[in-house]
Amino acid sequence: MFVRSVPAALPLPEGVDQGTGAEMAAHRAAATWGLPDFVCHSAIKRVSSGQRELGDRMLLTGSRGVVVQVKSREGAYKDDASERNWLRNRGAKAARQAKGTVRSLRSAPAEFENGRGQTLTVDGNDYQWIGVVVLDHDRIPDDTVVDCALPGLPCVALARRDWDFLFDQLRSTTAVVNYLFRVANMDSVALGDEPVRYYDLAAADADAPPGEISPEVAELGGIHFSVPLLPQAPVGSDRAHRVMRLILEDIAISPLGQHMSEANRLLLLSEVDELPVGARAEWGQLLLDMLREVRQVPPSHCKWRWRRSIAPSGTRQMIFGCATRFGPDIQAAFQSYVLLRHHELHQQTGLADQTATLGVLLTPRTDGTRPWDTTLLRTEGDNQLTPEEVKQYSALWNRQRTDAAGT
């Protein structure tokens, strides 16, 4: 049994009206415990009749989008029946607004500013969508169920406290979005009972057997590694877990390379944030150990350490590496490793068109400004390595296969 006290929702900011304050508080929870890059402010779209607001907030990660509508109860409490009516009416209105936003984005793209201040062009046809209604109310009557699903748009109604709980529990925007998609087609639960549903699902995840992996992936060897989708204990804030957050921050604030866009950056962030939250502390500690180990070499030498993970389908691969130093030669070697492992994977599975590999390289710094530099490389599809390149890269990296593929 796991027992946790769920705290009250974050306080509303001062100096603004209550409705705006509730939107700001919902944004703060998602940006602080998640990542601000995945949270977009509302946008204004010009239409023939004037202007239309698109969402109060929006979450974007990978191929999934969440339109968030926030409603706050102002004024004095009346009675349970009146408050239930208010919650249900506002929930239904918010769901209609969310559906209108999705419809508008599918008809024409719109520009949104995310929590990092970057502008993203959002085409609604590029995403799967759900709506989330966040209801800010100080005294929600017991057993109040708000069923706000609409044809064509699954919706979830949450008390603001529930919203905060999910982000505090998971500390990952992608994990929260995946959870919301998971429950969007389930029966609604009473407002305030989302933590109960979460722990029911977490217990089921803990009891579930590991999923199957494709035979082609199994033939690559390595360790079949499985963690529950939903951890029962809150995701930690210790140093090992913070490693992943620091890597995400590095990606978020680094200058974009030539021919890169903010959409490319969001894709990179999304793929790193896909790492299961239940595995992040172990990965973070391993990376800290690897960084410490690669320092321990004679001058002019370079040591490498690797950890890679292959999805059960064989179409997604994530590689983390650490090297003693950074420089053009190290960057070229890192590129050769990622390209070779990507080539080997899609040659093994025969799924080149569906395969993508993300490589992340950490190299320690010694100037005291920051603990490491972060370098990324992403490749997808058939990277068209020549036989000579495969031979050269294999001679460099396959002399002694000390790296293991974890799935």
Number of other CB atoms surrounding residue 189 within 10 Å: 21
The CA distances from residue 80 to 10, 86, 205, in Å, are 24, 10, 36
What's phi and psi for 358, nearest 5 deg? -115, 125
Check residue 405 and give its pLDDT: 41
Domains of the chain plus CATH, in order, are: 18-207 (3.40.91), 215-406 (no CATH)
Given a contact cutoff of 8 angstroms between Cβ atoms, the answer to whether 173 and 30 are in contact is yes
What's the rounded Cα separation, in Å, for the pair 297 and 361?
18
Check residue 142 and give its pLDDT: 95
Given a contact cutoff of 8 angstroms between Cβ atoms, the answer to whether 134 and 25 are in contact is no
What's the rounded Cα separation, in Å, for the pair 89 and 84?
8
Given a contact cutoff of 8 angstroms between Cβ atoms, the answer to whether 244 and 283 are in contact is yes
User: What token pair was written down for 351?
Assistant: 């799924």
- Could you tell me which residues come within 8 angstroms of residue 403 by beta carbon, excluding any fewer than 6 positions away? 306, 307, 308
Check residue 402 and give its pLDDT: 46
Beta bridge partners of 112: 120
What's the rounded Cα separation, in Å, for the pair 204 and 160?
25
Check residue 406 and give its pLDDT: 38
Three-state secondary structure readout of 123-138: CHHHCEEEEEEEEECC
Compute the C-alpha angle 266/269/274, nearest 5°. Answer: 125
- pTM of the prediction? 0.93
Check residue 296 and give its pLDDT: 92
| 51 CB-contact burial (10 Å; exposed 0-12 / middle 13-18 / buried 19+) | exposed
Question: For every one of its 407 residues, what pLDDT tens digit does the chain have, with 9 covering 90 and above?
Answer: 566 788 889 999 999 999 999 999 999 999 999 999 999 999 988 776 778 889 999 999 999 999 999 999 998 888 999 999 999 999 999 999 999 999 999 999 999 999 999 999 999 999 999 999 999 999 999 999 999 989 999 999 999 999 999 999 999 999 999 999 999 999 999 999 999 999 999 999 999 988 888 888 888 888 888 888 999 988 876 788 889 999 999 999 998 878 889 999 999 999 999 999 999 999 999 999 999 999 999 988 999 999 999 999 999 999 999 999 999 999 999 999 999 999 999 999 999 999 999 999 999 998 888 889 999 999 999 999 999 999 999 999 998 654 444 33
Check residue 273 and give its pLDDT: 96
Given a contact cutoff of 8 angstroms between Cβ atoms, the answer to whether 371 and 364 are in contact is yes
Check residue 407 and give its pLDDT: 31
Which amino acid is present at 10?
A: L
Give me the sheet containing 372-380, strands edge to edge: 372-380, 356-364, 316-323, 304-310, 405-406
Check residue 2 and give its pLDDT: 60
